[in-house]
Structure 1
Amino acid sequence: MGKLLFWIVLIILVLFVARIAGRIAADRQAGAKAADGKKPGRGAPPPPKTLESMVRCAHCGIHLPRSEALLQNGQTWCSADHARLGPAKH
């Protein structure tokens, strides 16, 4: 029973070391590609996202990015239907 347990632990240890070695090799290869100006590897940070101002729909009040809003008569709308319906009456 002791020998069986020894071999199981040894096999798991060998697989674990092989997995770590594979990750190190992949990181080195990705680092070499990043130095050549190609796609960044797993460890590289993502490019920064640009911030966009949010606007409020004059009809329903939902906030959406300015690039997705519809601007008519000095007011912003989330859709053409809401622009047609006009401002909400509270």
Structure 2
Amino acid sequence: MGKLLFWIIAVLVALTIARIVARAKARNGQAANATQKPRGRAAPRPVPAEQMVRCAHCGIHLPRSEAALIGGRTWCSQEHARLGEKS
């Protein structure tokens, strides 16, 4: 019985030591990766948010760059600008 208890404790101690060593290696690996320059393609730069506008005819919201500005109003298409403001 004493030998079995000894081996159980020995295995638990070995597993605990292995776990501590693995965590230390992972922590050191993260620190080393943080100081190195990234390899390969650079990460794409985030695109800034664009202002949304509402079509005066149908009410749909679309990015300002895709809208047609005619007569001081914003429209989603030339057709809606031709039809005019919906009442």
1:40-70 CA distance string (max 9 Å, x none): 3xxxx54212111000000000000000000
Cα distance in 1, alignment partners of residues 77 and 71 from structure 2:
14
Query: For the residues of structure 2 that align with 1:64 and 1:50, how far apart are their CA atoms?
Result: 15
Normalising by structure 1, we get a TM-score of 0.51
Show structure 2 runs of 5+ residues with no match: 1-32
Structure possessing the higher radius of gyration over alpha carbons: 2
CA RMSD of aligned residues (A): 2.2
Runs of 4+ in 1 over 4 A off after TM superposition: none
**Cα distance in 2 for residues equivalent to 1:33 and 1:83:** 49
Which residue of 1 is the match for residue 41 of structure 2?
39
Q: Aligned residues: percent identity?
A: 57
Number of equivalenced pairs:
53
C-alpha distance in 1, partners of 2:70/2:37?
51
